[in-house]
Every structure is written in C-alpha cells, then in structure tokens.
Amino acid sequence: MDITRRAALAAPLLAAPALLAVRTARAQGGFPSRPVRMIVPYTPGGVSDITARLIAEPLAAAWGQPVPVENRAGADGIIGTDVVAKSAPDGQTLGLVSVGHPVNAAFYRLPYDTMRDFSFVTLTTRTPLVLCAGKDFGPSSAAELVALAKSRPAGHVTFAGTGGVVRLAPVLFAQRAGVELTYVPYRGSTQAHPDLMAGRVDIMFDTVPAALAHIQSGSFKALATTGAARAPQLPDVPTLGEAFMPGFEASTWGMVIGPANIPAPLLAKISADCGSAVLRPEIAARHAALGAEVVRSTPEETRRFVGAEMEKWGDAARRAGIQPQAAG
C-alpha cells in the first residue's frame, strides 16, 4: 500500500518532464520533419558559403536530417534572401547572410522588409576591415590621412569602393573626420588592388584577409583596422577607435536568418544549435585561418544588432546622397 501511494505521489513529478518535452515538440512543429535548406545568397567560396558548409554537418547530426547548402546568388544577395523571406516559418528554410543584409537597404528598393520579414537566429562570424594605401602614399596613419585631406582641395583624396560596407566605411570615416573623399568604383577588390599599388587611387577599406598578403609583402600600407580590437593578423596596426576615432567600427560579418514568425521556442533551439556548431574548435580554427572570428548571439541580440547596423549605414548613405535604386 505504501509503495502504491508513493508511486501515485511520484507520478506527476515523473510526468512533468515528459509533458514539457511533448509541449516543446508541438511548439517546434516536429522540427525538423525533412532536410533543412541553408540558402547562401552568394556565389560559392566566400566566408558565408564556407561557414554554411562547415556548420551543416554538426547541424545535421544534431537534427537528424541533412542540411543541404544552396547557393542562390544574384543582385548583391537579394535574390536568395528573398527566397528565405517568402518561406514558411517552420525552421525548414534558413539563410546565411552577410553585412550586405542591412546595407542593401541603403542601396536598393528591396522586395522585402529587412527587419520585419525575417527571424534573426544568430551571428556566426565577424571580420574587420583595414584602411590601406599604396606603399608610396605619404600618410602612414589615419590622423595623417585626415591632415592630408584637409590640406588639399575638397575631394582630391580618392578611395576605391566595391559596394556594400567597403563602399560605405570610407563614407562614414570621412563624415566623422570632417573631410571629403572622392569615390572611385570597382567591381571587386582584386580589380582595385593594382590601382592602389600604383597610386592611381589613394586609399581603400578592404577586408583583412583580402589585403593581408599585399600588406605583408610591403605593397600596401596598413593605416588602421576597423574592429573593436586589433586584428590578430595585424597586431601592430591600431584600430581607428583607439588611434584616432573613438567608437568607429566597421566589419563584415555572417548571420543565420529565417523567415519571420518562426515560433519562439523553435527559434531559440535553432539559435542555440547554430551557435554551438559555429563555436566548435575545428570550425573556429578554420575561420581563424580565413581572418574571421566566430561569434554567437541570441535571437534578440541578433535583431538589435541588425537594427543598429541599418541605422549606422543608412544614415551614412543618406548623408552622402545615396538613393536606393531598383535591385537587379
């Protein structure tokens, strides 16, 4: 009789975890019920693509379903990102985007709302930029660059830009320094590098990995980096924040997103699993070799971060007179 009574009293306690598991499973809609698509809205080979492929394997192991990576490039990432926006909010379609996600709103009329039409899962990587110039360029620091720009007629210092944050970082720098720089457009950094070496264009903000070999060979001068801390690959180069312009930060980064309205319990699970995957030591080491730092964030932290990026880069673009154009 005592055993029966104890069993009866214990039954609710034993049932509670099982009931919680059932409720969680219902909230997550049986996720995942099939392979989880990971859309990368860029061509293969970039950091976003590499990150997606690296985390796909541990995610597949955690979820018991394959995580195929789909490259849906075009229109600076807009085409693939639009696919994510228009997917069902069941967690079965995710995307891995870059800083272009908030920056595109400054340049294009988009088929989606950058904030409203997405669930924000987690940040994955962060890569600082480096302010560089050709080896024969006079200034060797950001302060000397600003002094030169102020000594010349307005706009007589030029910068190479390739779109996105590489286009807007020098704009923000010039606005905060109170100088005027002239934009010289290029299709990509590899097209701009020969002109920077030859002095046909004065400066460029580029990613550390893209510029590092030229800096190490002496073809480029590194005037400053743009992260919150010094770049491990360039420990002797000060950040703009510490050397000249407190609070200045401009980085490229990666982020997992999904369509809007993914249920909160499911979003939290996907965020935790993606964050755990990207922080695995072997994945962190692979990114370090690419010049990227792995990071993670909660959905709410991620949403706030994107909002701040939109405000920063949107304000810089508006003050520079950049008007959104039709995407394509």
Ramachandran bin of 120, using left for φ above 0, alpha for ψ from -120 to 50, beta for the remaining angles? beta
pLDDT of residue 219: 97
More confident residue, 175 or 11: 175
DSSP secondary structure code for residue 150 in this structure: H
pLDDT of residue 29: 55
Residue-wise pLDDT for 288-310, tens only, equals: 988 899 999 999 999 999 999 99
Give the separation between CA 211 and CA 193, rounded to whole angstroms: 8
Task: Answer for the pair 97, 67: CB distance below 8 angstroms, yes or no.
Answer: no
Q: Is 239 exposed, middle or buried (0-12, 13-18, 19+ CB in 10 A)?
A: buried
Give the separation between CA 68 and CA 317, rounded to whole angstroms: 36
Q: How many other CB atoms sit within 10 Å of the CB of residue 56?
A: 18
Q: Is 66 exposed, middle or buried (0-12, 13-18, 19+ CB in 10 A)?
A: middle
pLDDT band at 28 (very low <50, low <70, confident <90, very high): very low
DSSP 164-185: HHHHHHHHHHHHHHT--EEEEE
Q: Which domains does the chain have, with CATH numbers?
A: 35-127+251-326 (3.40.190.150), 128-243 (3.40.190.10)
Report how far apart, in Å, the C-alpha atoms of 129 and of each of 86, 113, 205, 310 are: 32, 27, 6, 18
Element spanning 238, H or E: none
Give the separation between CA 30 and CA 187, rounded to whole angstroms: 45
Ramachandran bin of 36, using left for φ above 0, alpha for ψ from -120 to 50, beta for the remaining angles? beta
Q: Can you say whether the dihedral through the CA atoms of 57, 60, 62, 64 is positive or negative? A: negative
Residue-wise pLDDT for 89-124, tens only, equals: 999 999 999 999 999 999 999 999 999 999 999 999
Give the separation between CA 254 and CA 251, rounded to whole angstroms: 10
pLDDT band at 163 (very low <50, low <70, confident <90, very high): confident
